[in-house]
């Protein structure tokens, strides 16, 4: 376990983060990501994959690291995976490795902004109806997301009401059709409703 004290660009100390970390520094920010996320990021040859934005996907690791930064630098406000990992329900060659990175991140605690971004992207991927020519089959995407079922449910049970609804949507889209899926869909929907009544 490592404790890391971050300093923002203005020199003020941030909070301590306690977790297994890989630290990268850039533009005055220390970027802390879990060792599991780092392993997933380094496992793929992003430069060899095409991104939905029309370029190679070599910029995606930096996007993930930025989204996972607890205190987002102003220069990164508005960062989104939309148009890179998915475009609506159209998904591409870089999407499958990106799904693995998102699920690896959701296994641990992530900033609310990142959790919501990842759940939105996973819901779009699960609902995917269009693919570029180099993309794997729809079933491969759904199978990969299904492998991360517990990470998705955990995120819905610990996040916002919208996160709970998105996690329930993902379970429903995957049409697992079993008692476990139905139970967690209902649990997540009930949690979302209860949170909105507060």
pLDDT per position as a tens digit, 161-191: 999 999 999 988 887 667 888 899 999 999 9
Neighbour-count burial of 195, counting CB atoms closer than 10 A to its CB (0-12 exposed, 13-18 middle, 19+ buried): middle
Confidence (pTM): 0.79
Q: What is the mean pLDDT of residues 131-155?
A: 79
As a whole number of angstroms, the distance between CA 180 and CA 10 comes to 48
**pLDDT tens by residue, 14-64:** 332 333 444 444 444 444 578 899 999 999 999 999 999 999 999 999 899
Of the given ranges (102-106, 112-116, 131-135, 149-153), which has the lowest mean pLDDT? 131-135
Residues 6+ apart with CB under 8 A from 131: 90, 91, 92, 137, 138
Better-predicted residue by pLDDT, 133 or 108: 108
pLDDT at 69: 79
Compare 165 and 9 and report the one with higher pLDDT.
Answer: 165
Task: Give phi and psi for 4, each to the nearest 5.
Answer: -125, 125
**Sequence-distant (≥ 6) Cβ neighbours of residue 133 within 8 angstroms:** none
Average pLDDT, the chain: 79
Q: Give how far Cα 132 sits from Cα of 42, 52, 114, 137, Å.
A: 24, 9, 26, 10
- Closest by CA to 32, choosing from 6, 12, 10, 63, is 6
Query: What distance in Å separates the CA atoms of residue 193 and residue 198, rounded to the nearest whole number?
Result: 9
pLDDT for residue 32: 57
The reported pLDDT for the residue numbered 20 is: 42
């Amino acid at each position: 376990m490592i404790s890391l004290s971050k300093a923002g660009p203005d020199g003020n100390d941030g909070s301590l983060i306690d977790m297994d970390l890989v630290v990268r520094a850039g533009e005055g920010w220390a970027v802390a990501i879990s060792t599991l996320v780092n392993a997933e990021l380094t496992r793929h040859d992003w430069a060899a994959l095409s991104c939905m934005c029309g370029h190679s996907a070599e910029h995606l690791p930096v996007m993930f690291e930025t989204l996972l930064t607890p205190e987002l630098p102003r220069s990164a406000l508005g960062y989104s995976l939309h148009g890179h990992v998915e475009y609506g329900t159209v998904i591409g060659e870089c999407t499958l490795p990106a799904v693995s990175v998102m699920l690896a991140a959701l296994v641990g605690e992530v900033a609310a902004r990142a959790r919501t971004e990842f759940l939105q992207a996973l819901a779009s991927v699960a609902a995917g109806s269009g693919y570029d020519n180099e993309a794997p089959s729809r079933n491969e995407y759904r199978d990969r997301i299904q492998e991360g079922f517990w990470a998705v449910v955990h995120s819905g049970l610990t996040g916002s009401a919208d996160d709970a609804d998105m996690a329930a949507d993902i379970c429903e889209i995957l049409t697992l059709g079993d008692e476990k899926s139905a139970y967690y869909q209902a649990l997540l929907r009930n949690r979302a409703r209860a949170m909105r009544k507060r």
